[in-house]
Amino acid sequence: MRAAVLLLLACIASSACARSLFAPTPTEALNAQRNQQQQAAAAAANNRAPVPRRLPPPCYVPSSYAPYQTCAVSTDAATCGRGFNAWPSYEQCCAKQRGAIGAFPTGCTNFSANLTCWTSNEYYPRQTCKQTDDFSVCSRSWGRFASEQACCAAGGAFQDGCSKPEPCYVATSWFPSRLCGLTEDQAVCLRGWGAYPTEDECCVPGEAHSEGCGAVLEADDAADA
């Protein structure tokens, strides 16, 4: 009896491990959805019949709302015959919503599309946007924008919009004088080193210049004396 119990437990553990090992990756799952959509769209491309109020099975119904919008076939008579949220073809279920056609305002997610969009990048200390081609970001219905201007506008990615570009002070001369000057180059101002909000901070010894701002020749003359 004990041997039979141990054998049963080993079988259950083996099945769980097998399911874990052979579970699809996120990329494989996305590709499977893409292939399913392409096959269903191709099969239903010529089906443009008007939508009756009640349908016999099979029919097409929404299968996912977030993060992707998809339709799938249903063979349930109650679902197809309920008189709403069911369509005779994949094409009509996935069409952009208009009247009785379409399950989603923007239609089903197009898994074959190559998308680029703008989305939030940094929140602190500055609010900035970045461009991305991340399919999961660009296909969602929120938090993505067609342009940097739209992303950075007040009420876009941030309530008050993106941070305004601010100039900074950097070392501009080492000889014959150690100087700091103003720049509006945001790549320099945001690089994280060697950039200062004021000239005084830039000129402090040990910051932009090891000995601070000043005339190199005068310092050499004083040392010679």
219 pLDDT band, cuts 50/70/90, is very low
Q: What is the mean pLDDT of the chain?
A: 83
Output the pLDDT for position 26: 73
Amino acid type, 71: C
Residue 45 Cα distances to 38, 41, 189, angstroms: 10, 6, 54
Dist CA 86 CA 95 (whole Å): 13
Taking a C-beta distance cutoff of 8 angstroms, is the pair 68, 109 a contact?
A: yes
How confident is the model at residue 42, as a pLDDT?
Answer: 63
CB distance 161 to 129 below 8 Å: no
Note whether 81 and 89 are within 8 A (CB): no
In the block, which residue shows the tokens 């197809």?
Answer: 80
> Residue 8 corresponds to which tokens in the numbers above?
């049963």
pLDDT(39) > 50: yes
Please compute the mean of the pLDDT values over residues 149-167 and round it to a whole number. Answer: 92
pLDDT of residue 166: 86
Write down the pLDDT at residue 5.
53
HSE at residue 188, side-chain half, CA atoms within 13 A, is 15
Where do the domains of the chain lie?
31-44+52-112, 117-152, 168-224
Predicted local confidence at residue 157, as pLDDT = 95
pLDDT at 170 (0 to 100): 97
Q: Which long-range contacts (CB under 8 A, 24 or more apart) does 119-126 make?
A: 119/143, 119/144, 119/145, 119/151, 119/157, 120/151, 120/157, 120/158, 123/158, 126/162, 126/163, 126/190
Least confident among 6-10, 15-19, 119-123, 212-216: 15-19
Answer whether residue 154 shows pLDDT above 60: yes
- List the single range of 45-59, 90-104, 134-148 with lowest mean pLDDT: 45-59
Q: How far apart are CA 13 and CA 83, in angstroms?
A: 45
Q: Are 117 and 138 in contact (CB under 8 A)?
A: yes
Q: Looking at residues 107-127, what average pLDDT do you find?
A: 88
Q: Which of 51-55, 80-84, 88-92 has the lowest mean pLDDT?
A: 51-55
User: What tens digit of pLDDT does each residue of 163-188 get?
Assistant: 888 899 999 999 999 999 999 888 88
